[in-house]
Amino acid sequence: MESDASSNAPQEIAGAGALPPAPGKLKLYSFWRSSCSYRVRIALNLKGLEYEYKPVNLLTNEQSDPEFEKLNPIKYVPALVDGATVIADSFAILLYLEDMYPQHPLLPQDPQKRALNIQIASIVGSSIQPLQNYPVLNFIEEKLDSNEAIRWIQHQINRGFTALEKLLKGCSTIYATGDEIQLADVFLEPQIYGGIKRFGIDMSIYPVLGRLHEAYLEHPAFLAALPEKQPDAPS
Ligand SMILES: N[C@@H](CCC(=O)N[C@@H](CS)C(=O)NCC(=O)O)C(=O)O
């Protein structure tokens, strides 16, 4: 990990807020292939916010670097530093960005639509992604083998995608909950993209999700956030 976390992370860091404001460019601690980091990159792009990319290599365990642990005690990417404010966890970061930088709102005012956005975000963020995270995979690989690990992930993703497809049945808008990109989309695309590219998920059985995926791949905010376009992606 590039180590300027210490200079940007005051000693009392304990989460968002509290510290005196210090102007500065946003810094995103990210790993190119991390779907949680990908969510935040999309939102930063949508909101037109410039940021400095701080790579954290999960394959060499840089998330366990004590300097990074000061930013996120649970040792996951992403983490965002905004002046003296440090926030980790993609959901918390997205809500913070929504409050601080309201341009291109991600959460609709309409209560039903807002709840649907949060439900979709939650399915991806709580009921799919944590089940495919490295500690889970490594555990299954160690106890069983890598084939079982991939079968486990595919099962969990298919279970989640089946629910999402039902939830979005009849969706006729450009994006998941309307003709503007909203929170649901920011969660959906990194999960769909990783499902296809890393875990070989067959999207032909998810026509709505498949159509949304194509729409996302035409949007500049999503294109610029693609894993392979990040500075730490292998060339
Ligand atoms: N709820 C957290 C989850 C973060 C998370 O699981 N990050 C993964 C990458 S997508 C990670 O850092 N994994 C490293 C590890 O498991 O050691 C969020 O949304 O930010």
The span from the CA of 160 to the CA of 154, in Å, is: 10
Question: pLDDT (tens digit, 9 = 90+) per residue, 165-188?
Answer: 999 999 999 999 999 999 999 999
Q: How many CA atoms lie within 13 A of 231 on its CB side?
A: 11
pLDDT of res. 15: 43
Ligand 1 midpoint to CA 172 (Å)? 32
Shortest-distance Cα residue to atom 12 of ligand 1: 76
Question: pLDDT (tens digit, 9 = 90+) per residue, 4-31?
Answer: 433 333 333 334 444 444 456 899 999 9
**For ligand 1, mutation pick of 54, 80, 133, 186 (most atoms within 8 Å of CB):** 133
Using CA atoms, how far residue 123 sits from 91, 130, 187, in Å, is 12, 10, 9
Atom of ligand 1 nearest to the CA of 61: 17
Domains belonging to the chain, first-starting first, are 5-100 (3.40.30.10), 111-229 (1.20.1050.10)
Task: Name which of 149, 90, 159, 158 is nearest 125 in CA terms.
Answer: 90
Q: Which residues form ligand 1's pocket by a CB distance below 6 Å?
A: 34-36, 58, 63, 76-78, 89-91, 125, 133-135
Is a pLDDT exceeding 50 seen at residue 75? yes
* Mean pLDDT to the nearest integer, 43-54: 98
Provide DSSP, 101-146: --SS-SS-SSHHHHHHHHHHHHIIIIIIGGGGSHHHHHHHHHHS-H
